Amino acid sequence: MKPNVDLLTILGLSMAIHPLLTMWHEIGGHAVACAALGGHVATIGAYYVDCTGLAGWRSVVVSCAGVTVNAVLAVWAYALWTRATQDRARLVLWLIWVSEAFVAAGYFAFSGVSGFGDLGTGEGGGLEGLPMPVVIRVGELLFGIAAYILLVRAAIRSLNGMIGTGPQTDAVRKTIAHGFYAGAGAGAILVGLLNPVGLIITIMSAVASSFGGLAGFISVGYAIAPLDAPKPFSLARNRPVIIGGAAILIAFAAILGRSLYF
């Protein structure tokens, strides 16, 4: 029996998972770290947090907190995925750990290339002012690329473990990987365009963390495994997931798209 996965349900999952993971990064990472270190969380947007009143190592910790919680959640979700048995639970946990791992590695590569972002050493970057910025950027770039390559390979192997391999799995592989990637990216752009800070936040945060950070899903979708050994994996159309995902995305856009000020 070959695997079968419904595209609309995958899109529903993307509309739910990506906003929740973004809030985990921004609120669970940056905002919590800011408050814990005695700073003032001045603004929380869909794709950024403005923390004031901190300097030095405290500011660096806040900048690194988002990537840190991404990595922590990726490890936790992976551990749960290895123990899950039900198809829908396994797929949700797989999407979470792969997304978070891709984004964490992607931040290193992005900041290493551009000097911007949470780990950037350039003007406005989270690590601005640290000594030996060129060395930091080169190290970030090399680590980010190496980690991303390894994670893409791990994502392909783990997806094979769920749906099997061979030509009969090609369509499902693309539905899962490309459907989730497209849904997350489109949602991120629509929400990011509402941001009052302007287009630069949309480009640097929304687009970079979705279409950029999650780009590994493209390779996962196109992966070829010649051994013809499909598995009976199934995800039927689930209207509550589709409706719930749309509701989460709309709420995310309505509440954080225009930012909250404190």
**Mean pLDDT of each 10-residue bin along the chain, 262 residues long:** 93 98 97 98 93 96 98 99 97 99 95 91 90 96 98 98 95 98 91 71 67 92 90 97 97 92 94
What span, in angstroms and rounded, lies between the C-alpha atoms of 219 and 174? 10
Q: What is the residue whose two structure tokens read 């985990």?
A: 24
Total domains in the fold of the chain: 1
Give the model's pLDDT for residue 116. Answer: 87
Query: pTM to 2 decimals?
Result: 0.95
Joined tokens for residue 130 = 């640290």
Amino acid identity of residue 45, one-letter, is G
Give the model's pLDDT for residue 204. Answer: 62
Q: How many CB atoms within 10 Å of residue 197?
A: 16
Enclosing domain of residue 153: 4-261
Q: How many CB atoms within 10 Å of residue 50?
A: 18
Instruction: Answer whether 205's CB lies under 8 Å from 30's CB.
Output: no
92: Cα separation from own chain's centroid: 13
Give the model's pLDDT for residue 141. Answer: 96
Instruction: Answer whether 246's CB lies under 8 Å from 190's CB.
Output: no
Which residues are paired to 260 by β-bridges? 44
What span, in angstroms and rounded, lies between the C-alpha atoms of 164 and 157? 9
Give the model's pLDDT for residue 203. Answer: 61
Task: Please tell me the total number of residues recorded for the chain in this structure.
Answer: 262
Joined tokens for residue 150 = 């390894």
